[in-house]
Amino acid sequence: MEEYSLTDISAALDQKESTIRRWGKLLENAGYQFSKNERSRNYSESDLELFKKVKELTKGLKAELAVAVAFQLLQEPLNEKINIDLEPEILELDVFIQKFNSEYFWNSGQALQQLHQKWGNLKLKYRGQTFPADSDIGKR
């Protein structure tokens, strides 16, 4: 398995090292684990692919949300079927629900479970479908 340095990742993505460090820290805060030695992180091919997804998502989303969505896509590939450029509100809600479910769970969990189930059903309903761009709606 090939390992990459911060400099390698930065060059491959044409991003500043500070940007890669920031994304890496946000990913770790979300629960992602990089391989580390005594002095630095060692990045794998899958880490590079994850950073590529973050870079792609930052074209339409804030860095924090882009990282959260990329990490969630890693955990739940079904979400990749949702058109990220056209449906940021759906992605933002999904990330919020996932975070709420894991970090803010409290005694009335039944209502939260129902909400989560309904959201899962919505994602399954639209699995593999793409949605028209806002600019295309008026052209029909």
Delimiting residues of CATH 1.10.1660.10 domain(s) in the chain: 1-75
CB 101 within 8 A of CB 116: yes
Which pTM was predicted? 0.58
What stretches in the chain show pLDDT beneath 70? 1, 76-115, 118, 128-140
Give the H/E segment covering residue 131: none
Whole-angstrom Cα distance, residue 135 to residue 120?
Answer: 28
pLDDT at position 99 is: 59
Q: Which CATH class is domain 1-75?
A: mainly alpha
